[in-house]
């Protein structure tokens, strides 16, 4: 590994490989060929590594979060999940935003520095995140979007598909500590909690009325556009 050169380079993304076998498997990720078949559900994959990851969904959950009880197939996934039950101890020195993990902070900080370290080898467009580059490569390879194996709905990225699958499974991991209502997305829980706390962080610049989420503020601001100019100063 230390002495051998990475002699095989992917012409699509620039990734390099030591061995021809690994290189050939990687090339399948840039084509529409999916030769690996799951015998349990019939889903096909481009390479064995993707198939092996998929097999975990057919296994019972072996690891459970001590905070919320959510189950995971492997210990690594459990540890990454449990980090989000802790404190946001990693502070961005530029904007003050806090993060659960240092990796999340490092990735966020690149938005301040403009460090676009991931470059497309086809058109040379640069990206801050590796995931952004992978999504961009679909424009060159024609790789199909991520598809739900229950309803066949298609999504542009795996994260959106992951949240969509919770609609089918009924999983709502974010629970309100005040009333017990559960949500799929953490951001929806944050907005809901403001109903209990009375927090109204979004303020109308015309009448100073407060709102718990930005969408309600936008709808409210539309009402001011219908007022005569001499009435806007007295709008409530």
Residue closest to 173 by CA, chosen among 90, 70, 101: 70
The domain limits of the chain are 1-58, 146-199, 200-236
CA-CA distance, 167 to 4, in Å (whole number)? 48
What pLDDT does 144 receive?
A: 62
Asked whether the domain spanning 146-199 has the same topology as the one spanning 1-58, the reply is yes
What pLDDT does 3 receive?
A: 58
Say if residues 168 and 151 touch (Cβ distance below 8 Å).
yes
| CATH code matching the domain that covers 146-199, chosen among 3.30.160.60, 3.40.50.300, 4.10.640.10, 3.40.50.720 | 3.30.160.60
Record the pTM: 0.38
Q: What would the two tokens of residue 82 be?
A: 């449990």
Instruction: pLDDT tens for the chain, 236 residues: list them.
Output: 555 667 788 877 778 887 887 787 777 767 667 777 887 777 777 777 778 877 777 777 778 888 777 777 778 888 888 887 888 888 888 888 888 888 888 888 888 888 888 888 888 899 988 878 887 887 787 666 777 877 878 887 777 888 888 888 788 888 888 898 888 888 888 889 988 998 888 888 888 888 888 888 888 888 887 655 554 444 44
Tell me which fold the domain 1-58 belongs to. Answer: Double Stranded RNA Binding Domain (3.30.160)
The residue with tokens 């991931």 is 118
């Amino acid at each position: 590994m230390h002495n051998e050169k990475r002699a095989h380079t992917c012409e699509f993304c620039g990734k390099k490989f030591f061995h021809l076998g690994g290189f050939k498997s990687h090339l399948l990720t840039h084509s529409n060929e999916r030769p690996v078949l799951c015998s349990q559900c019939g889903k096909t994959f481009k390479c064995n590594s993707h198939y092996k990851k998929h097999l975990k969904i057919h296994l019972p959950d072996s690891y459970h979060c001590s905070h919320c009880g959510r189950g995971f197939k492997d210990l690594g996934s459990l540890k990454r999940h449990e980090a989000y039950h802790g404190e946001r101890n990693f502070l961005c020195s530029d904007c003050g935003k806090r993060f659960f993990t240092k990796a999340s902070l490092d990735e966020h900080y690149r938005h301040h520095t403009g460090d676009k370290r991931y470059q497309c080898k086809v058109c040379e467009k640069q990206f801050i995140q590796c995931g952004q580059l992978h999504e961009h490569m679909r424009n060159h390879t024609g790789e199909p979007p991520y598809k739900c194996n229950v309803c066949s709905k298609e999504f542009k990225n795996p994260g959106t598909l992951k949240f969509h699958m919770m609609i089918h499974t009924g999983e709502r991991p974010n629970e309100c500590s005040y009333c017990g209502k559960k949500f799929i997305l953490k951001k929806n829980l944050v907005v809901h909690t403001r109903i209990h706390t009375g927090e109204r962080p979004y303020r109308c610049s015309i009448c100073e009325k407060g709102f718990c989420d930005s969408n309600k503020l936008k709808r409210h601001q539309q009402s001011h556009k219908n007022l005569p100019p001499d009435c806007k100063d007295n709008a409530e």
